[in-house]
């Protein structure tokens, strides 16, 4: 942390302090990129922990975050508009201070609401297509219809609640926040998941949790074949049947802490099963395939 | 990438032509190279509808005598129809190179089809009592307008927008494929088939014909082969998951059925909407929304899933 403040002093400002759009008026693109931590050459080999400290996460404000008021509500009709225009309109409304935006008539439109790095209540009255609300950091999204492939891909924080079904690669490479689908989802749910929580009220398809690295996934229904294949770490909870386990995914004991966490999360989203959470199966990585403790595990050769 | 779509109305005819056009227009971004429709009208017993092309679209720009060649080919096709005692009841030509005949015939349609395809540059796109197969370069609107598809009434149909990855941009590589020589059977496919050459050699040894080097044609030939051996559509779809390698989602339509199959990896998308009176499916929900704007429930079929619906 010390080197951080030394560097910040050299640069003339504190990158963690956060700035509003008004404050960054007049700064260059390069300054703003550095504020976001995108100018990696300035980091001088320091650990990423500085930027992703646990206590800091909640207070992180992007340098050009708009000051929005959740009580200021507006509607945005997507009818006949291209996706880029809808996303630009959302940004313009946030700039005007609208904190609650209701999208009307999305009709399966792709890439709606991507890249929102701000606090916002986004309500989608209908279904959206591929890559919906991907790359978001902060907003609370409620989708009253269905989502296509790769919903919430790479999301960093916030909550996304989907009332109907979702397509494949739900929450791929997700890093934080809660991604919840009340219905069933397609295949490869949470592929490459790096954090956060995925909750599915129904079933999931094949290869769910493939190469999962961190975070938690809760499937209240059944899971398809190759569940948790090649997972590095993280935890998967399945309420129904597991068709089969992938390479190196093994069942583990469901502890009281797990049950308490499951109860809290499922109750929060109204998905708590009547029979409780005792029947859930917990799946973790066997760490035979990849083991961070040993550089070249002998077991690896045996498994492969 | 390619986009596929299918639509089936249970027990009644509807505006399948305009509905399929709307669905494929919404999928244009998945493949702008060519568009094809296989739509099924009310079966007219006794009469066959034959759609064929006598040249490729690109041929039309080459050679001063192309029109003469086409006229000669059409004359030869009609002569050969007469030799097989098929009488022409109606004849249309939507484009200079694509013909539609309504014929009366009660002999061996396979022998007749093989004889007609022997004419240079000629490929029968479809033959059947209710199937109308239309495919050409361009997007759904261009193809639907030039072939007058919008007014078409029928029970079901499948369609395809193609992004060429495995073969050229031409009509012979465009979908849907007719499952030669099975009347009224057509196939659309999204994906890549990796044991194409192996299976193609097997099929060629059994006497099946391949008109293109597009991997999707294999699925049409494969389905035809299974049907020839007495399999039902469901059996054929089930067997394909084991026997065809690669990533694929494909739709097969017969005169009264529509089926889908998805590979073991579930790598190619399909969104499904089912209700009591209609079933719609497409690579993306946006296509289904093009004809059903109201709030509906849709699902994704899982890996190795096959479904068959009756019209």
For residue B274, the distance in angstroms to the closest alpha carbon of chain A comes to 14
Does residue B2 carry a catalytic annotation? yes
Q: How confident is the model at residue A30 (pLDDT cuts 50, 70, 90)?
A: confident
Residue burial B210-241, b: 16+ Cβ < 10 Å; e: rest: ebbebbbbbbbbbbbbbbeeeeebeebbbbbb
B249 to chain A: which residues are within 8 Å by CB?
none
Asked if B145 has any chain A CB less than 8 Å from its own CB, the reply is no
For residues B195-218, average pLDDT: 93
For residue B304, the distance in angstroms to the closest alpha carbon of chain A comes to 10
Is pLDDT above 70 for A92? yes
Average of per-residue pLDDT values in chain B: 92
Q: Are residues A78 and A177 in the same domain?
A: yes
CB contact under 8 A, B303 and A108: no
Can you give the length of chain B in residues?
A: 311
Q: How confident is the model at residue A47 (pLDDT cuts 50, 70, 90)?
A: very low
Q: Which of 245-284 (B) contact A at CB < 8 A?
A: 264-266, 269, 271, 284
**Residue A143 belongs to a domain:** yes
Mutation pick from B29, B269, B285 vs chain A, by most beta carbons of A within 10 Å, is B285
For residue B248, the distance in angstroms to the closest alpha carbon of chain A comes to 14
Q: How confident is the model at residue A36 (pLDDT cuts 50, 70, 90)?
A: low
B299 to chain A: which residues are within 8 Å by CB?
165, 184
Per cent of chain B over pLDDT 90 is: 77
CB contact under 8 A, B284 and A108: yes
Residue A144 DSSP symbol: S
Q: Are residues A114 and A73 in the same domain?
A: yes
Highest mean pLDDT among A54-68, A277-291, B139-153: B139-153
Domains observed in chain B: 3-42+136-310 (3.60.20.10), 44-129 (3.30.70.1120)
**Residue A240 belongs to a domain:** yes
For residues A18-23, average pLDDT: 65
Question: Tokens representing B236?
Answer: 């054929």
Give per-residue pLDDT as tens, A1-19: 444 444 444 444 444 455 6
For residue B177, the distance in angstroms to the closest alpha carbon of chain A comes to 28
**Residue A64 belongs to a domain:** no
Asked if A138 has any chain B CB less than 8 Å from its own CB, the reply is no
B4 φ/ψ angles, rounded to the nearest 5 degrees: -125, 155
Is pLDDT above 60 for B44? yes
CA–CA gap between residue B269 and residue B256 (Å, rounded) = 24
Q: Are residues A40 and A76 in the same domain?
A: no
Q: Are residues A22 and A91 in the same domain?
A: no
For residue A289, the distance in angstroms to the closest alpha carbon of chain B comes to 22
**Residue A184 belongs to a domain:** yes
Q: Are residues A87 and A43 in the same domain?
A: no
Residue B86 DSSP symbol: P
Closest of B238, B267, B266 to residue B252, by C-alpha: B238
**Residue A251 belongs to a domain:** yes
Residue that has been written with the tokens 């009176």 in this structure: B277
Q: Are residues A295 and A159 in the same domain?
A: yes
Asked if B302 has any chain A CB less than 8 Å from its own CB, the reply is yes
Strand order in the sheet with B271-274: B131-137, B34-40, B156-162, B3-9, B278-282, B271-274
Contacts of B226 (CB under 8 A, 6+ apart): B235, B236, B239
Q: Is B276 helix (H, G, I), strand (E, B) or coil?
A: coil
In this predicted structure, which of A48-62, A283-297, B59-73 has the lowest mean pLDDT?
A48-62
A145 φ/ψ angles, rounded to the nearest 5 degrees: -110, -135
Q: Are residues A26 and A171 in the same domain?
A: no
HSE-CB for B61 with a 13 A CA cutoff: 2
Give per-residue pLDDT as tens, A245-263: 999 999 999 999 999 999 9
Q: Compute CA B288 distance to the chain's CA centroid, rounded to the nearest angstrom.
A: 19
- For B30, B54, B235, the CA distances from B265, given in Å and listed in that order, are 20, 39, 20
Give per-residue pLDDT as tens, A266-276: 999 999 999 99
Asked if A126 has any chain B CB less than 8 Å from its own CB, the reply is yes
Is pLDDT above 90 for A48? no
Contacts of B195 (CB under 8 A, 6+ apart): B244, B245, B246
Is pLDDT above 50 for B134? yes
Mutation pick from B30, B270, B283, B298 vs chain A, by most beta carbons of A within 10 Å, is B298
CB contact under 8 A, B300 and A165: yes
Q: Which of A13, A39, A59 is the last residue of a domain?
A: A59
Asked if A63 has any chain B CB less than 8 Å from its own CB, the reply is no
Query: How high is the ipTM of this complex?
Result: 0.87
CA–CA gap between residue A118 and residue A76 (Å, rounded) = 18
CB contact under 8 A, A167 and B300: yes
The residue segments making up the domain with residue A10 are 2-59
Give per-residue pLDDT as tens, B2-38: 999 999 999 889 999 999 999 999 999 999 999 999 9
Q: How confident is the model at residue A42 (pLDDT cuts 50, 70, 90)?
A: very low
Looking at the structure of chain A, the number of domains it has is 2
* A179, containing H or E segment: strand A178-181
Q: Detail the DSSP E strand segments found in chain B.
A: 3-9, 34-40, 47-53, 87-95, 98-104, 123-128, 131-137, 156-162, 177-178, 186-193, 246-253, 257-262, 271-274, 278-282, 306-310
Q: A186 near B266, Cβ under 8 Å?
A: yes
Taking the complete model, does pTM exceed 0.80, yes or no? Answer: yes
Alpha carbon dihedral B128, B134, B136, B138, in 10-degree steps, equals -160
In this predicted structure, which of A47-51, B1-5, B121-125, B168-172 has the lowest mean pLDDT?
A47-51
Asked if A131 has any chain B CB less than 8 Å from its own CB, the reply is no
Give per-residue pLDDT as tens, B235-293: 999 999 999 999 999 999 998 999 999 999 999 999 999 999 999 999 999 999 999 98
Q: Are residues A106 and A30 in the same domain?
A: no
């Amino acid at each position: 942390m010390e080197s951080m403040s030394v560097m910040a002093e050299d640069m003339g400002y504190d990158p963690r302090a956060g700035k509003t759009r008004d404050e960054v008026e007049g700064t260059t693109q390069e300054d703003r990129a550095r504020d976001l931590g995108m100018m990696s050459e300035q980091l001088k080999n320091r650990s990423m922990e500085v930027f992703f400290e646990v206590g800091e996460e909640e207070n992180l404000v992007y340098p050009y975050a708009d000051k929005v008021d959740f009580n200021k509500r507006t509607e945005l009709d997507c009818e006949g508009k291209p996706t880029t225009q809808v996303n630009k309109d959302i940004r313009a409304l946030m700039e005007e201070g609208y904190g609650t935006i209701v999208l009307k008539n999305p009709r399966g439109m792709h890439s709606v609401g991507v890249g929102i790095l701000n606090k916002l209540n986004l309500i989608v009255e209908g279904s959206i297509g591929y890559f919906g609300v991907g790359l978001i950091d902060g907003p609370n999204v409620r989708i009253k219809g269905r989502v296509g492939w790769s919903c919430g891909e790479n999301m960093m924080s916030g909550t996304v609640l989907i009332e109907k079904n979702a397509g494949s690669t739900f929450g791929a490479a997700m890093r934080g926040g809660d991604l919840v689908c009340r219905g069933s989802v397609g295949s490869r749910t949470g592929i490459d998941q790096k954090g956060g929580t995925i909750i599915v009220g129904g079933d999931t398809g094949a290869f769910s949790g493939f190469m999962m690295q961190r975070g938690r996934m809760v499937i209240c229904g059944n899971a398809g074949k190759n569940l948790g294949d090649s997972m590095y770490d993280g935890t998967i909870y399945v309420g129904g049947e597991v068709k089969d386990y992938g390479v190196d995914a093994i069942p583990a004991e469901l502890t009281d802490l797990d049950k308490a966490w499951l109860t809290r999360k499922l109750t929060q989203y109204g998905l708590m099963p009547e029979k409780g959470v005792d029947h859930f199966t917990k799946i973790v990585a066997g760490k035979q395939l990849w083991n961070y403790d040993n550089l070249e595990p002998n077991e690896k050769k045996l498994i492969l | 990438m390619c986009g596929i779509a299918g639509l089936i109305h249970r027990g009644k005819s509807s505006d399948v032509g305009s509905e399929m056009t709307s669905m494929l227009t919404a999928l244009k971004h998945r493949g702008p190279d060519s568009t094809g429709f296989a739509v099924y009208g009310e079966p007219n017993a006794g009469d066959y509808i034959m759609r064929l092309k006598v040249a490729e679209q690109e041929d039309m720009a080459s050679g001063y005598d192309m029109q003469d060649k086409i006229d000669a080919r059409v004359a030869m096709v009609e002569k050969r129809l007469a030799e097989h005692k098929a009488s022409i009841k109606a004849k249309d030509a939507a484009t200079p190179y694509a013909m539609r005949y309504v014929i009366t015939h009660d002999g061996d349609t396979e022998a007749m089809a093989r004889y007609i395809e022997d004419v240079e540059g000629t490929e029968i796109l479809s033959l059947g009592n209710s199937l109308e197969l239309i495919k050409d370069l361009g997007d759904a609107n261009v193809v639907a307008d030039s072939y007058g598809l919008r007014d078409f009434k029928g029970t079901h149909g499948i369609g395809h927008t193609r992004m060429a990855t495995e073969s050229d941009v031409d009509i012979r590589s465009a979908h849907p494929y007719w499952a030669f020589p099975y009347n009224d059977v057509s196939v659309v496919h999204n994906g890549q088939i990796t044991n194409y050459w192996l299976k193609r050699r097997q099929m060629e040894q059994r006497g099946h014909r391949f008109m293109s080097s597009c991997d999707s044609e294999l699925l049409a030939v494969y389905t035809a082969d299974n049907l020839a051996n007495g399999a039902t559509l469901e059996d054929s779809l089930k067997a394909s998951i084991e026997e065809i390698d690669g990533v694929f989602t494909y739709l097969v339509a017969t005169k009264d059925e529509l089926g889908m199959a998805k590979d073991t990896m579930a790598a190619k998308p399909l969104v499904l909407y089912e209700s009591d009176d209609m079933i719609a499916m497409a690579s993306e929900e946006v296509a289904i929304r093009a004809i059903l704007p109201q709030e509906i429930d849709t699902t994704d079929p899982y890996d190795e899933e096959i479904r068959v619906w009756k019209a």
